[in-house]
Amino acid sequence: MARTSLLIVYLGTTLPLLFFSPSEARGLGVTYGRVGNDLPDPASVVKLLKENGITMVRIYDTNSTVLKALANTGIKVLVMLDNDDLAAAATSPLYALRWVRCNVAAYYPATLIDGVAVGNEVFMWRPDLTQQLVPAMINVQLALANLGLADAVKVSTPVAFTALKDTFPPSSARFRDDIAQSVMKPMFEFLWRTGSYLSMNPYPFFAYAEDPQNIPLNYALGNYKPGVLDKNTGLVYHSLLDAMMDATYYAIENLTEQYLNIRHPIGSGANQYVTTTWTEGVGGWSSRGVVKQRKPPKGGRNLCQCQPATVANAKAYNNYVINRVLSGNTGTPHRPDADIDTYIFALFNENEKGDGPDDAERYFGLFYPNGTKVYDFDFHPSWCVADAAVEEALLQGALDYACSHGADCGAIQPGGECFEPNTRVAHASYAFNSYYQHNHRAPGTCDFDGAAYVVYQAPRSMALTRLLVVLLGTTLPVLFFFSPAEAGEVGVSYGRVANDLPDPASVVKLLQRHGITMVRLYDANSTVLKALANTGIKVTVMLDNDDLAAAAASRLHALRWARRNVAAHSPATLINGVEVGNEVFEWRPELTPQLVPAMINVQLALAKLGLADAVKVSTPIAFTALKDTFPPSAARFRDDIAQSVMKPMLQFLQRTGSYLSMNPYPFFAYAEDPQNIKLEYALGHYKPGVLDWNTGLVYHSLLDAMMDATYYAMENLTEHLNIIRQPMGSGSLNNGRPGARWSETGWSKRGIIRPGRPRKGRRNLEAGAGFQPATVANAKAYNNHVIDRVVSGNTGTPHRPDADMDVYIFALFDENEKGDGPDDAERYFGLFYPNETKGYDFDFHPSWCVANAAVGEDRLQKALDYACGNGADCGAIQPGGKCFEPNTRVAHASYAFNSFYQRNHRAPGTCDFGGAAYVVHQAPKYGNCVLPWKALIDGRPAKSEGYAAM
């Protein structure tokens, strides 16, 4: 439960340790310094950040103009309290409160400030402030807590690497004696208690410049093949960066073993696991100039007159760091499983830094002040994967070519680490990617005559398959074949069939206030898309049924539509999907033969506009496209569309890395047959369950049954179509387990369910049948069930227990022009009323309560006893219980505290226990025990063991 993270910044370069703080592994940002007189204005800088996909930035002050420019962009910001303000903040809680109110609260949440660095390398540059550092940090954190920002904004401080001693070999490293007890001990206790991080500043660039005779350049740049041995551990280091990181890890372990009563070394896989995040330029290498003497740090040597600052070296080092972080290859010899984020130092060359125009300090920028790149780099990771749709002979020929032209194919030989899965697609993907990366991802190096294509999320076993599910108006898109879904993210469907809704600009503010980062539209309205620009909110747009025939018949029409409705708004508005039509088989069956041609033409248009990788084409299909949906394992696509439409559609989706959207309706399914479908089953928590007699799987949720019916239909169809030779979802491209993303599900909170237009395979509803599923209580129960499942990661189904999924909740607002009259339930699916108040309580941000290991065993035991005696469900931590292991007081206390917190609806003050607990916002895990987030608090299963449909 004491998950600790380490944030490292190099050359400016901070190595923070996030104690219990949820870090976002493989995030990549920049350090934005402004010590220059020729830099672009902040508004232009923000535009540059967005054009380059940079989503995190660190600044060295709290400049108002900069923070205002970053508002409503979705870019995360780390600000700094200057050394000159530190003494005042240390001595006066009121001063700290005023500083936080003026410099953080005044801009949040429009500007996503997520951290405050208190001072900068105080031990080195202002040693006179050493004893005031931790008091200042405490007062700033208390101020954030008083303003309700302590969970969202963490307090840290960058510490120079010279705070360590005996750093070679890395395993010998310790914090210096003069600060270990007096400063580092209380600092660690503070960071542990508040879930924050320590920032350490090692300098690979300057370390090499100080001692080029003994440090090989390639070692500093990160690719020294002979390696350097740590004789104490036998670990070999090929990178100075890794050695510095591990020196910090070892110093932390030695310090925390002594002071924090940690029974296992931090990072051992138990409660004290340390992951790594690099925040300021692990990530810093100057591209020109002379390396001049800085203020001598303790133990530092004068620098030589060598010349490490070249464009080639800077390009090599920073691309090494970027590629490592984005590819997930972030471990160190001592911490092979570490995850890390990084801020690259620096955004611009700064012409007023250092000592004269030849000083290398001025030339760390990724960009020149005119906004052009100093050298090539890419913040977007990419991989090259095989196209499973091409013939085996073509794949084999391309594989042979790659292996004989520079690809490293040793790993796919018998006994190699990637020999399994032993399929041609998996092996070809490995070889194609090796060739692509070896050639620096140059254009044309991932084609192989159409046998390969580029993806932008790391392929798992070189094979990603995804399922996107929409329910209630409700699309269950199946994200096939390498399509990157972001599991655990929750969005909303934003319909506008009403005359009393807030304007789009107000809607965007509402989305941002509630942390909603994805939205789905039913058109491509220009005003809405402009309002969503520069917010970081992901948007799916729709080509209406009325435009479908024209798009199918004319590539020029499709191109004009894509240019006007997608390209005109991208990338300022993050459009990531186009839905072509809406339930065409049901509402416009005459367009059925034109559906796939329209999808193909829209995708070709996006490709011509350079948007095909970023924007995927799909179409929502009514659940009535399936037949024999009970039991789920019997489900198939209907005979009249399977070969004529679904076969070419799935081939198209596979080829383009896109997704199929299916629309089951748990709400309407229950309303159609309340005599045979239990309300609890429709809401997602029917304890007895429903049996699929073909498979033995038991379903506690109608939603899961509908999802699995779709999975089975996909499997049965693809078996016949020879697209997937083994059942989808078993682990590779041919055998890959689909994840799930639900793009529309919901439940009405009032009104009558009217018959509406009859659908094939569905019964007409009887108005006034004596039951009323559309209630606030039911809507609250169902939508919170869906939200809780997704954000907590508890997203599998009986047939697909490991499935990942995102979800769009239907709908954002009640819409007063939908349906047939003011009493029609169609009007009341909204999470919000048109006046922007909630229809019922919900929370898009998960939270858990965990034990604070720093308070000691006695306080933890007393708090644990209190929780178990006052409503917490502590059965799971008794001997034999599912969370008895790991049998530690911290793990057991965390389980009990979290149960108490969730059962009290996460009310303020219910996660404190006299300082023995605190709130976290990422799912905690002890051994194999994952703490629940609301989903199991009432004793209701959050997902089925296996279930039955409708």
The least confident of 670-679, 700-709, 733-742 is 733-742
Element (H, E) at 121: none
**Residue 948: pLDDT over 60:** no
pLDDT of res. 185: 84
| Closest by CA position to 920, among listed 901, 938, 905 | 901
For the record, the structure tokens of 283 come out as 């990530």
Regarding whether 548 and 424 lie in a shared domain, the answer is no
pLDDT of res. 43: 93
Regarding whether 679 and 654 lie in a shared domain, the answer is yes
The reply to whether 97 falls in a domain is no
Q: Is the pTM of this model over 0.75?
A: no
pLDDT of res. 499: 96
For the record, the structure tokens of 645 come out as 């439409």
Q: What count of other Cβ atoms lies within 10 Å of the Cβ of residue 68?
A: 16
Final residue before a domain boundary, out of 772, 800, 832: 832
pLDDT of res. 165: 92
d(CA 425, CA 192): 46
Which of the two residues, 927 and 949, has the higher pLDDT score? Answer: 927
**Residue 300: pLDDT over 50:** no
Share of the chain above pLDDT 90, in %: 42
DSSP letter for 854, please. Answer: G
Regarding whether 416 and 357 lie in a shared domain, the answer is no
Regarding whether 252 and 162 lie in a shared domain, the answer is yes
Regarding whether 804 and 774 lie in a shared domain, the answer is yes
d(CA 707, CA 740): 9
pLDDT of res. 513: 82
Regarding whether 403 and 548 lie in a shared domain, the answer is no
The reply to whether 139 falls in a domain is no
Regarding whether 424 and 313 lie in a shared domain, the answer is no
- Return the SS3 of 348: strand
Sign of the torsion formed by the C-alpha atoms of 50, 56, 59 and 62? positive
Report pLDDT digits (tens) over 567-583. Answer: 999 888 999 999 999 98
- Return the SS3 of 135: helix
**Residue 48: pLDDT over 60:** yes
DSSP letter for 685, please. Answer: -
Can you give the residue range of the structural domain that contains 164?
A: 28-58+157-262+269-293+305-367
Instruction: Let me know: does 348 contact 49? Beta carbons within 8 Å.
Output: no
Give the pLDDT band (50/70/90) at residue 6: very low
Mean pLDDT of 372-392: 81
Which of the two residues, 484 and 309, has the higher pLDDT score? Answer: 309
Residues in the chain: 950
Q: Is 420 a catalytic residue?
A: no
Regarding whether 455 and 334 lie in a shared domain, the answer is no
- Per-chain mean pLDDT for the chain: 80
Residues 6 or more apart in contact with residue 541 via CB below 8 angstroms: 521, 523, 524, 529, 565, 566, 575, 577, 578, 579
Report pLDDT digits (tens) over 422-466. Answer: 888 889 999 999 888 777 677 788 889 888 887 765 564 433 222
The reply to whether 190 falls in a domain is yes
Give the pLDDT band (50/70/90) at residue 117: very high
pLDDT of res. 725: 24
What is the tally of structural domains in the chain? 4
The reply to whether 476 falls in a domain is no
For the record, the structure tokens of 804 come out as 């990942």
Give the pLDDT band (50/70/90) at residue 238: very high
The alpha helices in 101-239, defined as continuous H runs, are 122-125, 133-146, 177-179, 185-194, 204-210, 217-221
pLDDT of res. 267: 24
Choose the most confident range, by mean pLDDT, from 228-242, 442-456, 650-664, 920-934: 228-242
Instruction: Let me know: does 847 contact 933? Beta carbons within 8 Å.
Output: yes
Which of the two residues, 427 and 665, has the higher pLDDT score? Answer: 427
The least confident of 375-384, 455-464, 711-720 is 455-464
Regarding whether 637 and 515 lie in a shared domain, the answer is yes
Per annotation, catalytic residue among 280, 350, 744, 826: 744
Q: Is 583 a catalytic residue?
A: yes
DSSP secondary structure string, 782-830? HHHHHHHHHHHT----SS-TT----EEEE-SB--TTSSSSTTBGGGG--
The reply to whether 840 falls in a domain is no
Q: Where are the beta strands (DSSP E) in 798-920?
A: 807-810, 848-851, 917-920
Which of the two residues, 943 and 591, has the higher pLDDT score? Answer: 591
d(CA 713, CA 418): 30
Which of the two residues, 428 and 655, has the higher pLDDT score? Answer: 428
Give the max Cα distance, the chain: 89
pLDDT of res. 530: 94
The reply to whether 94 falls in a domain is no
SS3 labels along 621-643: EEHHHEECCCCHHHCEECHHHHH
The reply to whether 665 falls in a domain is yes
| Closest by CA position to 510, among listed 519, 522, 500 | 519
The reply to whether 815 falls in a domain is yes
DSSP letter for 102, please. Answer: I
Regarding whether 665 and 641 lie in a shared domain, the answer is yes
**Residue 259: pLDDT over 50:** no
Residues 6 or more apart in contact with residue 287 via CB below 8 angstroms: 309, 310, 311, 313, 314, 315, 349, 363, 364, 365, 374, 375
Regarding whether 540 and 430 lie in a shared domain, the answer is no
State the amino acid at position 332 in one-letter form. T
Phi, psi of 433 (to 5 degrees): -65, -40
Per annotation, catalytic residue among 579, 583, 672, 815: 583
Report pLDDT digits (tens) over 339-366. Answer: 666 788 899 999 999 888 988 999 999 9
CA dist 86 → 150, 192, 754, 782, 948 (Å): 19, 21, 65, 49, 62
Report pLDDT digits (tens) over 759-801. Answer: 333 334 544 445 689 999 999 999 988 887 776 666 788 998 8
For the record, the structure tokens of 194 come out as 């508040």
pLDDT of res. 454: 76
Regarding whether 350 and 410 lie in a shared domain, the answer is no
Give the pLDDT band (50/70/90) at residue 540: very high
Which of the two residues, 319 and 934, has the higher pLDDT score? Answer: 319
**Residue 4: pLDDT over 80:** no
**Residue 14: pLDDT over 50:** no
